[in-house]
Chains A and B, each alone.
Chain A
């Protein structure tokens, strides 16, 4: 009896003596994850409601001009499309909570395995393009800022502005004409893998799609990096460092860059978010078997379970990238980690 009381007292005491330290990163992770899950639920409801307003259903989309009333009815019953919409959604949701994403209305295969392989394919595309684009963008930004107003800086700035104005499909077509189909035949014009093989076992097939995405995101990263680097280079502490005789490369890399990177991280985060959407066009152009291509055909097939699964994956990616961007921004800006009073 007594011991128990003592233990309790001690714990309470120790709790009181050690108040829980505010930990902004952990707190934010927990809060944002909960909001994220609620967002996913909301997204699934919105997407389901949106699919209900589309003309036709999976049965009429499959049968097209062979849809006699008898065939339509038979297929609707087989696919469960004659049940009320709320019941269809509830069946789907309870399935998902049990880890079952249902079967495709278009071809009867499990959505999990249909979407699973494509997630990997798209992820490889996005991560490769994102990492390469970030490195090139940051590198060029630092160089351009260091040689501000030089010929190098001016050519890069004008070029990046011009490239910003080009949509992905134009970039893709130009690359294909030059490197695949007409001028030189170095790379495949379309990225067709044998289903079931990993994208990295087809490295040649990745070159042009990744290059297209890199060309599209580099200008944004470059311009942001250049601008914030110029700000940093004009600051007092950089001038101080220069007056102290710190070598130029040290000033750039250890004094200016860490302070200039925070705003650029937000742009890099935005680039990754853009990539998640931009892959749709690029996958379509290169016939690349990824999520975007699957989403386009799922929508035209009215294949609701597959639409839901892909949109949820993309939404989860958005949420994760947003959280990651904020966490990294916090991590590189010590000032903002202090609790606000």
Chain B
């Protein structure tokens, strides 16, 4: 079992190496990396990789609460900086599969109650200090600090940070208080568990990343320069990165068209033709993030499973994706974790069935149902998707009144308590996502899902080190969600970025973060 795990991760590593090779070739990987959902891929005209130059990135999604602290990154622009300053033990390939970064070994015991992690030798932080086992232990103790838990704490709660032990200079034993067969997956989510040196001070942020900090003013601009001691040979290509915060897409696109920036993130589909018309490139990725509608299963209207299933049947997913994202993106099937190896692709694609929805409503005595949907501009397209849902629901005689609240209202005192609302999630693997969202003790259980069969399947799966067995258990969990769950997952939104013709090395990725999770070390300027 242990052996198969190692094999699996090695496969991941090879994939990653192939990814890097693809990047060298400039878009070689774009064909296989994106699946069949991409309608238009612009190829870069930047030619062969070249060293030097300053990449200017104009990014939206930041705020004056921007931070360089990898333990507390929240916004998109935070991730853009953190993904270049720091590195995790395990990362993601463009196909969203785990790959070794700082670690060179990660092995669980048979019961998944203990992991051994060994980091690569010869890696240095920006201040010249060697990366060792101590830094790994320090990082996890900071993440799981009960007084100030980091954003990653909820997903890594099984780790028993107190009893972590240094086996040698580069090897750490990570004991788990409950079985945790998916540690390698949980660690791979970008921007949450990057390794920081012992005694890390956010005022002097040093990591092991390809770029080190030059200047930072929150919500405005930050600059980074090449780290000459970077361990991956030949990287980075760029000398410098300048990341500027933009308040909205209009000024961001204007800056791209006027040649003031080289790359922009998080575009909506309606500017694609404008950007291409002006001779710039568009990068469309089939991301694994998801923007669900959330129905509370424990109380109120949606405690009746027939009404939940009826709601899922009234959605014309294709039309919704067309209207909200111009048809880019991937259809959803009310189950999350689309690129996870455990995702069940054999579940029949749910389509629109008004007759069945009506008969379910009739059986539930809920004809002419009237519900309120709380929406907010929390992620791209959320408000529009809510309006489309309300429109589509009328066919089944359901009145959905859409209540558009401010982002602060949405995440205010009623967050996780709304009866019918929306949310957005970055890509995650299946079981780590379950631990965050659909277990009774999950910190973000917005649908208040608590199914005893499902819970016990999870407990078995999380203790199962064998990939095939664990996948089988996960499939059964997904079938329960498919039949009874509180989420409507109509689609997995695309990630649309723009870049100038002088930029090379950008490839579509399934990670769901812009610009292949802001992977600027593989980017060059012609």
Contacts and interface: CB of A to CB of B under 8 A. Distances in A.
Interface stretch (A155-163, A217-225, A300-308, A333-341): A300-308
Contact of A301 (B65, B260, B378, B413): B65
Contact of B149 (A61, A68, A190): A68
Given A287-B255, A294-B64, A189 B260 contact: yes
Interface string A161-195: 00000000000010010001110010011101011
A55 interface: yes
A-B CB proximity, top 7 nearest: A189-B254, A106-B65, A56-B412, A189-B258, A55-B412, A56-B408, A107-B218
Interface stretch (B242-250, B304-312, B346-354, B460-468): B242-250
B410 to A, nearest CB: 9
A188 B260 contact: yes
Contact of B247 (A180, A194, A293): A293
B444 A65 contact: yes
Contacts of A61: 65, 408, 411
B221 A182 contact: no
B443 interface: yes
Given A66-B74, A190-B260, A192-B255, 20 more contacts: A61-B65, A63-B74, A63-B411, A64-B407, A68-B154, A70-B153, A78-B148, A106-B63, A107-B65, A107-B67, A173-B250, A180-B254, A182-B278, A188-B260, A189-B260, A190-B251, A190-B255, A287-B255, A294-B64, A296-B247
Nearest to A187: B258
B217 interface: yes
B252 to A, nearest CB: 8
Given A63-B74, A190-B255, A71 B151 contact: yes
Contact of A180 (B244, B248, B258): B258
B254 A176 contact: yes
Given A67-B411, A181-B258, A301 B220 contact: no
7 contacts: A54-B408, A64-B378, A71-B151, A192-B221, A287-B247, A297-B64, A300-B63
B408 A300 contact: yes
Contacts of A180: 254, 258
A44 interface: no
A114 to B, nearest CB: 8
A284 B149 contact: no
A83 B151 CA distance: 24
B67 A182 contact: no
A107 to B, nearest CB: 4
A180 B252 CA distance: 13
B259 interface: yes
A228 interface: no
Interface string B381-416: 000000000000000000000000011110111010
Given A188-B260, A189-B254, A195-B220, A306 B64 contact: yes
A331 B252 CA distance: 47
Interface string B77-107: 0000000000000000000000000000000
Contacts of A192: 221, 244, 255, 260
A272 interface: no
B247 A70 contact: no
Contacts of A173: 250
Interface in B400-458: 406-409, 411-413, 415, 423-424, 443-444
Interface of B: 58, 63-67, 74, 146-149, 151, 153-154, 215, 217-221, 244, 246-248, 250-255, 257-260, 278, 378, 406-409, 411-413, 415, 423-424, 443-444
A315 B130 CA distance: 53
Contacts of B251: 189-190, 284-287
Contacts of B413: 55-56
Contacts of A300: 63, 407-408
Given A64-B74, A107-B218, A180-B254, A301 B64 contact: yes
Chain A: interface residue count, which band?
35 or more
Contact of A60 (B220, B378, B411): B411
A251 to B, nearest CB: 48
A301 B63 contact: yes
A208 B75 CA distance: 30
A102 to B, nearest CB: 14
Contacts of A185: 258-259
A81 interface: no
B65 A65 contact: no
B25 to A, nearest CB: 33
Interface string A28-62: 00000000000000000000000000111000111
Nearest to B202: A108
B244 A65 contact: no
A336 B168 CA distance: 89
B411 to A, nearest CB: 5
A295 to B, nearest CB: 10
A88 to B, nearest CB: 18
Nearest to B409: A55
Given A190-B260, A192-B260, A71 B149 contact: yes
A284 B220 contact: no
A94 interface: no
A109 B251 CA distance: 26
A56 B409 contact: yes
Q: Which of B66, B250, B415 has the most CB of A within 10 A?
A: B250
Contacts of A196: 217
A74 interface: yes
A264 interface: no
A141 interface: no
A298 interface: yes
A289 interface: yes
A215 to B, nearest CB: 18
A105 to B, nearest CB: 8
A104 interface: yes
Interface string A107-130: 101000010000000000000000
A65 B248 contact: no
A188 B246 contact: no
B290 to A, nearest CB: 13
A104 B220 CA distance: 15
Given A56-B412, A190-B254, A284 B247 contact: yes
